[in-house]
Structure 1
């Protein structure tokens, strides 16, 4: 029995619960169909107990789920036995941060919409260190270094053998906020330009002139799953991270990011815009 299931294990259980509820079955009824104790269904749905791919397919059959791609994706999740690098930080960092790295690792695409900060995937060491120095309550030097190493390791999804496609829509305010002073800011902006040279990375800027837009007060990371029902939204908030996966929430943040993208400059114009800001520093 798991005492602290990961975000991915919780998500598998949540999706199985959604399938059961759509079928109009109680956990007791589901347990009878499968020939197990009721608490076993409850523990699986809560992420406290593992489940085999075969049992996932059996549950989907009992729940009359005809979405074969979704069932296949859930079966693959059940079959996972890897212990990712992020688990080394499970006892050091807040669980939401660790689950974020796990989510990014499994995403097929990542889309970020940011107003006040450079996205973590694009931050350089010196910029990120200054961001962590501003955390309230104040972090100790070791805690800052733990968070810094964790943030840099998260960026590996953009550099591995099969890099994850990544799009960042960044407001001009984030580009002009000088974390670490002009020299660090200039280095950070040049790094963003270098990153945008990669074919799998697209960067777009929303200039001040674009005016107001929906979602401007949030930092959004949309992780695309192997099938759309397994998409996840990560919100970076002052009181911690939040992972959202309800269908209505996913629809909402897809629309928000689409609107942000429509307002943003195209990648080529963005490069010219960022270059101009660096010239002012």
Structure 2
């Protein structure tokens, strides 16, 4: 039996969407674009939906035929060509939702990451025990094997923070996330000690918004911003109860860059944040 074709990843869909935006800016229909490139309207539509792999040379030719003069953008799009990236996350292909796997692929290609959360600590900074406590409590409840799959996947994602060329991460967390106590005192204390350990790494910055900071933007949701090779190809991921949502149009990217900038302005410095994390860990010890 032939293998069922896989749906395009968010990265493949993003390449197609950017080519569609260039075509529409040139005021060309898909049929007209196909005639320019010596192909058909259905083929152009397949490329723009991310379901048909396209070569780097074809992307360059398409972009220039759409009168795009932004060479940085053209080359960044050319780097996104080919089939789906094959990575360690493929071993979870039949175990986890596709949008969950898309996140690992985006992290793999990101040149920098910024995340902000209020109640939960960022997945890239969670210990295994903390992740297990959080994932075990989702609704609807997961079977034990499914919990283990999700926990192991979350921990493997953290590889982008280590190795020879780790990806820089700035994590903005609210003091509430430090004090939630997921998994009980021992797990919570170990999690805070882990935050202190990783915050000593040059490429990881943890900034805490204290209770006294008052109001701040996006206080009701987590925001995860992954930088592409150029700002136009950045991606925002928002967590919802229904799964991950990905945003990539320019007004949305500008909005969330501004949101994260404002959240950073409400945060303590990195050194002050470390002091507060230590204090919360001490408070747990004294309970």
TM, length-normalised to structure 1: 0.98
Equivalences for residues 1-281 of structure 1 within 5 A? 3-79=6-82, 82-281=85-284
SS of 1:213's equivalent in the other structure is coil
Secondary structure of the residue that 2:81 maps to in structure 1?
helix
Query: 2-side partners of 1:160 and 1:45: how far apart?
Result: 35
Tell me how large the CA RMSD over aligned residues is: 1.1
Q: Distance in 1 between matches of 2:250 and 2:5?
A: 27
Distance 1:79 1:199 in 2: 34
CA distance in 2, matches of 1:249, 1:2: 31
Distance 1:237 1:167 in 2: 21
What SS class does the counterpart of residue 78 from structure 1 fall into?
A: coil
The offset of 1:7, in angstroms, is: 1.3
Cα distance between partner residues in 2 of 1:80 and 1:97: 18
TM-aligned CA deviation for residue 72 of structure 1: 0.4
Aligned-partner Cα distance in 2 for 1:44–1:86: 24
- Between the aligned partners of 1:61 and 1:40, the Cα distance in structure 2 is 18
Find the residue that maps to 2:80 and give its secondary structure.
helix
Tell me, in whole angstroms, the C-alpha distance in 2 between the residues paired with 1:79 and 1:7.
14
Deviations 1:77-126 (A, max 9, x none): 11466411112212110111100111111000000011110100000011
Give yes or no for contact 1:220–1:235 (8 Å, CA) kept in 2. yes
Which runs of structure 1 show a deviation greater than 3 angstroms over 4 or more consecutive aligned residues?
Answer: 79-82
Q: What SS is found at the alignment partner of 2:8?
A: coil
CA–CA distance in structure 1, aligned partners of residues 220 and 195 of structure 2: 22
> Greater shift after overlay, 76-85 or 147-156?
76-85
Q: Deviations over 1:163-191 (max 9, x none)?
A: 00000000001000011111110000000
Structure 2: how far apart are the matches of 1:135 and 1:79?
Answer: 36
Give the count of matched residue pairs.
Answer: 281
Relative to structure 1, the CA distance from residue 9 to residue 206 in structure 2 (aligned partners, 3 Å threshold; closer, same or farther) is same
Give structure 2 stretches of 5+ with no counterpart. Answer: none
| Cα displacement (A) at 1:225 | 0.3
Unaligned runs of 5+ in 1: none
TM-score (structure 2 length as normaliser): 0.96
Q: Deviations over 1:168-223 (max 9, x none)?
A: 00000100001111111000000000000000000000001001111010101000
Instruction: Please tell me whether the aligned partners of residues 2 and 49 of structure 1 are also in contact (alpha carbons under 8 angstroms).
Output: no
**How far, CA to CA, are the matches of 2:271 and 2:112 in structure 1?**
21
